[in-house]
């Protein structure tokens, strides 16, 4: 009887880092993750100071398909809105090719944008995202208040993670490598795997049932 070939080893997803306005500088956690994580690479959206929505969406789409394997998106600030617009335009099948996304500190673009350069990204799509996602928000983010972030998370069907008072969750927040963020990335990966194993996909990470540290639970300050 011929021997069966060994089962194929699961392919680790590519981690695409999607920066916001002005790109992520050398001390930003996204830049540090790019150097720290073998599977991570930054999406070069270009026009960092005068972003053009469709250009950003097209370059994100190209990076996703060039990855040649499943993808996890890790977006910060305006990069989160680029991800939302990509999903709106492309209408991908759930989990194909994007398995999930960390959406960190999206900015207000509809009613009270802090910077006029965000205007081309309004109105922000509020369609449910076709992949697992965590929206990570701060209680004192100058670019979007926490209640608006919670409202957006409910429309995107993202799990809301309350990071307390962490500013815009950027280099100015003094996060360094941002180990809590890496823990959230690991939890997202586990959740994607748990969903494939038949666990309840409606289970909310903010409830703490996936073993997050207590200060990540909903309502923490």
Instruction: pLDDT tens for the chain, 221 residues: list them.
Output: 566 655 555 678 999 999 999 999 999 999 999 999 999 999 999 999 999 999 999 999 999 999 999 999 999 999 999 999 999 999 999 999 999 999 999 999 999 899 999 999 999 999 999 999 999 999 999 999 999 999 999 999 999 999 999 999 999 999 999 999 999 999 999 999 833 433 333 333 333 322 333 333 333 32
The SS3 assignment for 45 reads coil
Domains and CATH numbers, the chain: 14-216 (3.40.50.1820)
pLDDT of residue 207: 31
pLDDT of residue 182: 97
Task: Find, among 107, 217, 113, 117, the residue nearest to 160 by Cα.
Answer: 217
- CA 53 – CA 31 distance, rounded (Å): 22
- CA 1 – CA 20 distance, rounded (Å): 57
Task: Find, among 46, 114, 59, 47, the residue nearest to 85 by Cα.
Answer: 59
Tell me which H or E stretch contains 160: strand 159-162
pLDDT of residue 206: 36
Residues paired with residue 132 on neighbouring β-strands, in sequence order? 100
The SS3 assignment for 178 reads coil
Cα–Cα distance list, 114 to 5, 164, 203 (Å)? 57, 21, 34
Composition of the chain by helix, strand, coil, percent to 5: 35, 15, 50
Residues paired with residue 72 on neighbouring β-strands, in sequence order? 15, 100
Q: Which residues contact 213 (CB under 8 A, 6 or more apart)?
A: 180, 183
Residues paired with residue 134 on neighbouring β-strands, in sequence order? 102, 159
Q: Does 66 sit behind a cis peptide bond, omega within 30 degrees of 0 on the bond before it? A: no
Angle at 22 (CA atoms; ends 19, 23), nearest 5 degrees? 35
- CA 5 – CA 110 distance, rounded (Å): 54
pLDDT of residue 214: 30
DSSP strand pairing (98-104 vs 132-137): parallel
Q: Which residue has the tokens 């950027």?
A: 170
* Assigned token pair, 177: 């490598």
pLDDT of residue 158: 98
* Assigned token pair, 17: 């880092």
pLDDT of residue 11: 72
pLDDT of residue 10: 62
């Amino acid at each position: 009887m011929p021997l069966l070939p060994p089962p194929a080893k699961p392919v680790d997803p590519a981690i695409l880092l999607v920066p916001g306005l002005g790109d992520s500088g050398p001390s930003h956690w996204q830049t540090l993750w790019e150097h720290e994580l073998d599977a991570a690479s930054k999406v070069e959206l270009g026009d960092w100071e005068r972003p053009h929505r469709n250009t950003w969406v097209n370059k994100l789409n190209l990076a996703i398909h060039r990855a040649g394997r499943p993808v996890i998106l890790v977006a910060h600030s305006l990069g989160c809105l680029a991800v939302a617009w990509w999903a709106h335009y492309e209408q991908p099948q759930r989990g194909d090719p994007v398995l999930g996304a960390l959406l960190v500190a999206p900015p207000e673009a509809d009613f009270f944008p802090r910077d006029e350069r965000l205007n081309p990204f309004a109105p922000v799509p509020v369609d449910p995202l076709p992949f697992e996602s965590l929206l990570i928000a701060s209680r004192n983010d100058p670019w979007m208040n926490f209640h608006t972030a919670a409202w957006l998370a409910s429309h995107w069907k993202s799990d809301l993670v309350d990071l307390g008072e962490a500013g815009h969750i950027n280099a100015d927040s003094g996060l360094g490598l941002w180990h809590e963020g890496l823990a959230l990335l690991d939890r997202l990966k586990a959740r994607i795997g748990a969903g494939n194993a038949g666990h309840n996909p409606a289970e909310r990470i903010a409830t703490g049932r996936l073993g997050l540290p207590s200060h990540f639970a909903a309502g923490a300050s």
